[in-house]
A and B are shown apart, each in its own frame.
Chain A
Amino acid sequence: MAKRIDVNGLNAYYGGHKAIEDITLHVEPRSVTAFIGPSGCGKSTFLRTLNRMHEVTPGGRVEGEVLLDNENLYGPGVDPVQVRRTVGMVFQRPNPFPTMSIYDNVLAGVRLNGIRYSRSQLDDLVEKNLRGANLWKEVKDRLHKPGAGLSGGQQQRLCLARATAVEPDVLLMDEPCSALDPISTLAIEDLIDQMKSRYTIVIVTHNMQQAARVSERTAFFNLAGVGQPGRLIEVDATDKIFSNPSEKATEDYISGRFG
C-alpha cells in the first residue's frame, strides 16, 4: 500500500541551528523521487524528517507538517514508532546487526516488534524478502551465518530486505549506493525499479546519473551560503530538471559549474 506524501512549510533544526527551511513538496504514491544537491544542503535531514528519524538526533526538532495520505506525522498523539513502521529507511552505509544471522537480520523488524509468527510463516517471510532484494540465490545456503560476513553490496541488499520485511508503505533511501561498487549499484537500482510498483520511494543521491536513471521526479536542494539553512530550489519531472531546469542554480549544479 504505497502512500502519498505532502510536505508543507517544513523547517528542521539541530538545537538552535536551522538546517532546512520552508520546504513544500509532494510525492506521488508508487513513484521514485530523487533528492540531489551539494553536501550539507539538508537532503538527508529532510529525508529523516519524513519518518521522524530526525528527532532521534539530540537537539533535532521539526516545524511544519508532513502528511502521509492526509495524516500529519507530527500531529498530536502520533507515535513515532508507528510512523517508522510505515515509512522504512535504508542508510548510506550497510548496517546489518552484527549479533544476528542473515535470517534473523531479515526478521529483525518483525521479531523486535514482538509479533509472533509460526516457523513456516517466518521462513516464507525471509525467502520472500530476500528474493525481493535479489539476494536469495546468493545466501540461501548460509541463512544462519552472520550477516556481517557478506560483502558490502550484499549487506546493503540485506538491509533492503530487512526494511521491506516490515511491509512499509514508503521507503526512504539515504545515498544507498555511495559505499558500493558499480555492479552492486546496478543491482540496487534494478531493485528500486522493481519496487516502485509497490512502494513510494524517495532516494537521496550524489550521483546525478543515478538520479536520472532511477527517478521520475527530482528535487534540487541548495543552501544560500555558509551557515544558512538549506532550501528546496526546484522540484520537477526528472527529464525537465536535467534538460531544461527553470532555475539557474539547478542548471549550474547539474552542469558542474557549481561547487
Chain B
Amino acid sequence: MSDTDRTRNEPGPERRGGPPRPPEVAPENGGVAQEHDRAAHELAAVAPMVSGQSVPVHPETARPAEVPSETRVEEHQERVIITPPVRPPTMGLRRPRLPRWTPLGLAVGSLAFAVAVGLVAGLDSRVQWGLIAALVFVAANFALTAAVEGRRQAVDKLALSLIWTSFLVAVLPLASLVWETVARGIPTVSWDFLTHSMNGVLSWQQGGGIYHALLATLQQVALASLIAIPIGLLTAVYLVEYGRGSLARAITFFVDVMTGIPSIVAGLFVLTLWIMALDFGYSGFAGALALSILMMPIVVRATEEMLKLVPNELREAALALGVPKWRVILKVVLPTAIGGITTGVMLAIARIAGETAPILLLVFGSNLINANPFEGPQSSLPLFVYEQWGYGTEEAYDRAWAAALVLIVLIMILNLVARGVARWKAPKTGR
C-alpha cells in the first residue's frame, strides 16, 4: 500500500478527494460577508428556530473567542445560504375535506335520481338507468369536490371514478359471460357427457356427449402446437440472437402480417393448398395446419419480447467465459426467459383452441368418434357448440352451453399449468 502514501503527496488526488472546503470557502466569502451581515442579523433570531440545532464552529472559520457575537453572525451567514425560505404562517397544512361517506351518499343519490328519471321518462332499458346514474355520480362528485376540496382533489376524484367505471365496463361482461356459461352448462355436464359421442343422438333428444369433440380438439391443438411452437421459438431466437439486416426485417414484417390474418383466410389457404391442390381429404390434421398458421406469429412475438428482456450482460458474461454462442442461448438465455415464453405459448394455445372458422372448412365436423386426426372428418369443441346451436332445440342448446363450459375450463387448466411451470422455472431470487 506504499503507492497510496505516495499519491497522497500528489497535488491531484489530494485536491480531488482531500479534506472538505471550509478553509477555501471562508476567504472567498470574505468580501461578500459585509453585505450579508445585515440580513444575517435579521435572520439570526429565526435561523436557530428553523434549523433547530446549533452549528458546530469550525476551528478555521471561528474568529478568536473575544468577539463571540461576530462568530455567531458568521455561522448564521452560512445558514442564510442553506435555509429554505420560511413558509408564510398564513397557509396551513389542512384543507377542508368532504366527509368519508360522501361518495356512498352520492352513489345512492344518483341511483335514485336515475331511477326517477327512468320511471318518469319511461326508459325500459336498465342499462340506460345505469348510464344516467354513472354520469350523474361522476359529475356530482367532481363538482362537489371542486367546490369543497379544490381543483386538484376534484380531478383526482374524476380520474378515480373513470378508472372504476372502466373497470366495471370491462369486468361486468366477463363476469356475466362466466356466470351464464357456468349456470347453463353445469346441469348438462356429467361423466356421461364427457365420455360419449353424438353417435345416433338426434337434435331433439337428450343425452349424447362431447367425447368426440374433446378428443379431436386436444389432438388438433396438440398437432398445431407441435408444428407452430418449434418454428415460432426458432424464429424468435433467430430474430433476437442472430438476425441482422434485410432478412430479419423481412421476417419481422411477415410475422406482423401473419398476426393480422383472419382465421377464415388461414382456413381457405389450407383448403386450397392441402385439400384442393394436393387432394388430401378433410382431416383433423388439415385443421391443425390452419391453426398452426394462426399460432405461429403469436409464439414468435411473445418469445421475441421475452428474449429481448434477457439482459445483455448475461449473454456477455457467458461469452466471456468462453462458452460458444449456441450454448449461451440454450443454457443461459432460454432458461432465463422460460417463464415468459411458457406464458406466451399458453396464450397462443388458448387463442387457437377456440378457433371455429378453419375447423369448419377443413375438419368438416362429425358426430362420430374419429381418433385418427390424419384421416377422415373430425369434430372439435367450438365446432360442436356451433352445430348444436344451429339445431335450435332446447336439448341442443343445453349441449352447446355445456360444451362451451368444458372448453373454457380446458383452457383455464392449460393456463394454470402454464403459470405453475412459469413460476417453477422462473429465475430465483430468494436468499
Interface of A with B (CB < 8 Å)?
Answer: 51, 53, 56, 58, 81-86, 88-89, 91, 93, 95, 97-99, 108-109, 111-114, 145-146, 148-149, 159, 162-163, 166, 208-209, 212-213, 238-239, 242-243, 251, 254-256
Contacts and interface: CB of A to CB of B under 8 A. Distances in A.
B7 interface: yes
Contacts of B176: none
Given A146-B429, A255-B15, A112 B328 contact: yes
B10 A242 contact: yes
Contacts of B244: 58
A145 B320 CA distance: 24
B3 interface: yes
Contacts of A254: 10, 12-13
A98 to B, nearest CB: 3
Contacts of A109: 321-323
Contact of B427 (A148, A208, A213, A238): A148
A213 B320 contact: no
Contacts of A98: 314, 336, 427-429
A209 B17 contact: yes
Contact of A209 (B13, B15, B311, B319): B13
A81 B3 contact: no
B335 interface: yes
Given A53-B320, A109-B323, A256-B16, A93 B313 contact: yes
A148 B428 contact: yes
Contacts of B34: none
Contacts of B13: 208-209, 212, 242, 254
9 contacts: A91-B320, A97-B318, A97-B336, A112-B318, A113-B321, A113-B323, A213-B4, A255-B10, A255-B15
Contact of B15 (A82, A84, A166, A256): A256
A243 to B, nearest CB: 7
Contacts of B10: 242-243, 254-255
B319 A146 contact: no
A88 B15 CA distance: 36
Given A95-B313, A254-B13, A113 B322 contact: yes
B319 A85 contact: no
B430 interface: yes
A85 B321 contact: yes
Contacts of B315: 56
A71 B187 CA distance: 79
B321 A91 contact: no
B321 A238 contact: no
Contacts of B3: 212-213, 238-239, 242
A88 B321 contact: yes
A56 B318 contact: no
B316 interface: yes
Given A112-B331, A255-B10, A99 B427 contact: yes
A56 B332 contact: no
Given A53-B319, A88-B320, A146-B430, 7 more contacts: A53-B316, A84-B321, A88-B321, A98-B429, A112-B323, A113-B322, A255-B11
Interface string B278-317: 0000000000000000000000000000000001011111
